[in-house]
Amino acid sequence: MRPTRFIMAATATVALLGLALLGSARAQYYPSQGHWVWVYASGETQRLGSAATVRGVSVLPMQHLIAGQLISEDLLEYRDNQVLLRGIRTAGRTGSKLTWYLPPITLYPASPLAPGQSWQSLSSTPLGAIKLSSRVLSGEPVTTPAGKFNALLIRTDVQQNKTTSTQYSYFVPGLGVVRYQSEGGAAVDLVKYDTDSD
């Protein structure tokens, strides 16, 4: 897969992390604890792992699995109440490959998010520069197999190698992303989630 696709998946992943502390006495806007699993209508499962140190940085790995097979792992850093993408590890036949972002990509700025808010991040990789531009467009009601929610609709544009891709996510503060939608309108809904949060 191309890095742009991974960035889009990472953006979606991090937004889902908001689900992590639903029902917890210590709810966080962008949760960073517990062992959570999210299942999407697309068949993808995302799993939040335990803290690890990569290149001297404390990160939380977010695994992306299809039919139980690891496809990639986002390396997320939580700093100053924001979420940064430090790198992506992809699984392959001959082992894993790490793409490290310098500087890290800001997936979500310091909370809380509000309609009209926007943020940008520019980073470089061996494959070239990546620019992520996001904006909270509005508040929207949304219904998925996981329930009914009042969400913030976020547009994210990813530019790399003279190509731009756009994705919309429906983010519920303290809960996470409940729907991803492509620019063409195809949607992927959250079906269920579970945790063994500490």
User: What's the fold here for domain 3-195?
Assistant: YmcC-like fold (2.40.360)
Helix (H, G, I), strand (E, B) or coil at 83: strand
User: What span, in angstroms and rounded, lies between the C-alpha atoms of 140 and 60?
Assistant: 29
pLDDT at 89: 95
Domain boundaries, the chain: 3-195
Q: In this structure, are strands 95-108 and 82-92 parallel, antiparallel, or unpaired? A: antiparallel
pLDDT tier at 178 (50, 70, 90 boundaries)?
confident
Q: What's the pTM value of the predicted model, to 2 decimals?
A: 0.82
Q: What mean pLDDT value characterizes the chain? A: 83
pLDDT at 51 over 50: yes
For 1-23, how does the pLDDT look when each residue is reduced to its tens digit (9 = 90+)? Answer: 444 454 455 544 444 443 333 33
pLDDT at 40: 92
User: What span, in angstroms and rounded, lies between the C-alpha atoms of 76 and 54?
Assistant: 10
